[in-house]
Amino acid sequence: MNKLKITTAVYMLLIPVAVLIIFMRVRDTAVIKAEDPIKIGVVIYRGDDAFISSLAVSLDKEAKAVEEEVGRKIIMNIADAKNSQGSENAQVDAFISGKYDVICVNMVDRTVASSIINKAKEADIPVVFFNREPVEEDLLIWDKTFYVGTDAKEAGTMEGQIVADAYLENPDKIDKNKDGRIQYVIMEGEEVHQDSLIRTEYSCKTIANAGIEMQRLARGVGNWMRSPAYEQMLLWLDAFGDSIEVVISNNDEMAMGIIEALKEHNMLKDGPLIVGIDGGKDAIEEIRMGNMEGTVVNDADGQAYTIVKIAWAMAEGKDPEEEVPELNGKYAYIPHYTITRKDIR
């Protein structure tokens, strides 16, 4: 065999090998691309808010559930804005420069969403707001913005219904001074939060619509937190003593503060009827012990699943309304349900 023939034979062998290597590389790139994780950046308004911290746990859990369901890896990074809008803006900026696929935001101040939306729009990164609803005008700035939350009117109505049902079943137990009216105090969440005013309005309206007369002794703002509610209830107990017949709380965590204050005054047993919202673990325990009448469950898992599903749909370029039945245009409101003493008994 001469030299030329050997060289030709070597080339003949090498060419298919080279073609195979190139082919494998192209295939490999395609496979890796398909398995590229979806990066979701989440910012919560403050991690020491009991419901929000349970929502953060649900988000992690549901990201794994959606990952399994759709067969694509999801990386979720959750940042805590610690109640500072400035920090939250910086955290969103970091997600934008980190080229996240979708950003989910629980606004500290729900009235300033436009600056986040404008930045996200420039980077073409969809935004799913949750729990703290931006004003509609801001959401309309860009079509890749959504909101996942609950209907505050529904929560208030259900909470009022718990009070009305308990009263109608046994009015004498609640109307301790037998004046035919309910003397009540109301503990409200943050004044700027869409849920506070609406929950208050509808819980009271529902009780009144059931034909029950109400007399408000006082209202206080506990910002969703246990300790301000506890402090406020101590003041109310000093001012009104045992004439408080019902305590309506805009959430469970504040109801826990109220229960603590009543315990301290040895007034929990045969004390006022207490209702809350969220379906928190501690509240369910108090209901089981008979210290609280009931709660309206704010479905953290349901909200988290919907948030992740919208994020995934947007990252994959799918139509989120087709993938997420709860989504109606830009809005998904996850239904509430109640847990009362009767359910646990």
Strand order in the sheet with 337-340: 213-221, 181-188, 246-249, 273-278, 294-297, 337-340
Please list, in sequence order, all residues whose beta carbon lies within 8 angstroms of the beta carbon of residue 204, skipping any fewer than 6 positions away.
160, 186, 214, 216, 248
Gap between the Cα atoms of 199 and 97, Å rounded: 38
- Cβ neighbourhood burial of 85 (10 Å; 0-12, 13-18, 19+): middle
CB of 110 to ligand GAL, least distance (A): 9
Nearer to ligand GAL among residue 53 and residue 77 (C-beta): 53
Give me 12's structure tokens.
Answer: 């003949």
**Torsion (CA) 189, 194, 197, 201 in degrees, nearest 10:** -130
Longest dimension (CA), the chain: 119
Nearer to ligand GAL among residue 183 and residue 303 (C-beta): 303
CB of 255 to ligand GAL, least distance (A): 10
CB of 67 to ligand GAL, least distance (A): 26
Nearer to ligand GAL among residue 251 and residue 340 (C-beta): 251
CB of 224 to ligand GAL, least distance (A): 4
CB of 196 to ligand GAL, least distance (A): 9
CB of 65 to ligand GAL, least distance (A): 22
Of all helices (H) and strands (E), which one includes residue 194?
Answer: helix 194-209
Query: Is residue 338 classed as helix, strand or coil in its secondary structure?
Result: strand
Nearer to ligand GAL among residue 59 and residue 182 (C-beta): 59
Q: Which of 219, 226, 224, 192 is nearest to 204 (CA)?
A: 219
Nearer to ligand GAL among residue 49 and residue 80 (C-beta): 49
Distance of CA 38 to the CA centre of its chain: 21
Please list, in sequence order, all residues whose beta carbon lies within 8 angstroms of the beta carbon of residue 174, skipping any fewer than 6 positions away.
166, 167, 182, 245, 246, 273
Checking DSSP bridges between strand 294-297 and strand 337-340, what pairing results, if any? antiparallel
CB of 50 to ligand GAL, least distance (A): 6
CB of 107 to ligand GAL, least distance (A): 9
Checking DSSP bridges between strand 246-249 and strand 213-221, what pairing results, if any? unpaired
Nearer to ligand GAL among residue 52 and residue 162 (C-beta): 52
Nearer to ligand GAL among residue 66 and residue 277 (C-beta): 277
Nearer to ligand GAL among residue 193 and residue 330 (C-beta): 193
- Beta-bridge mates of residue 338: 296
Q: Which residue is nearest to ligand GAL (CB)?
A: 51
The residues that touch ligand GAL, with contacts defined as CB under 6 A, are 49, 51-52, 131-132, 189, 193, 195, 224, 251, 253, 277-278, 298
- Which stretches of 10-73 are assigned E, i.e. beta strand? 38-44
